[in-house]
């Protein structure tokens, strides 16, 4: 079960190798489900990709601070939404 056509994956891999670009990939535990050893092949080609992905909910500053102080070895992508401190934001996210 591929989440996207194999040709797209191969194209992205080619572009990453040719231009030295990092790739965002799902975790290695999905390789058997997807049926394509994308992370192994990317690593063999020297492609940099995310080892750890951390999603932080809006308004969770304490989580962001903890993630940044507790980084594990490897490449970590932290997904968060920076915002300007306004009354509207505070009313929707009191943190």
| pLDDT tens-place string over residues 27-69 | 777 777 777 788 888 889 899 888 888 888 766 778 888 888 9
Q: Where are the strands (E) in 1-95, listed by range? A: 52-55, 76-79
Task: Let me know the angle formed at the C-alpha of 78 by 60 and 63, rounded to the nearest 5 degrees.
Answer: 25
Question: Within 10 A of 25 (CB to CB), how many other CB atoms are there?
Answer: 19
pLDDT of residue 4: 66
CA separation for the pair 28, 40 (Å, rounded): 9
The pTM for the full model equals 0.60
Q: Are 22 and 45 in contact (CB under 8 A)?
A: no
């Amino acid at each position: 079960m591929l989440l996207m056509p194999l040709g797209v994956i191969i194209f992205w891999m080619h572009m990453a190798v040719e231009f030295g670009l990092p790739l965002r990939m799902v975790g290695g535990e999905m390789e058997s489900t997807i049926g394509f050893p994308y992370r192994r092949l990317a690593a063999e080609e020297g492609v940099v990709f995310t080892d750890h992905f951390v999603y932080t909910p809006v308004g969770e500053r304490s989580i962001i601070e903890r993630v940044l102080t507790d980084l594990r070895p490897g490449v970590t992508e932290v997904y968060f939404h920076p915002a300007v401190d306004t009354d509207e934001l505070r009313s929707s996210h009191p943190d």
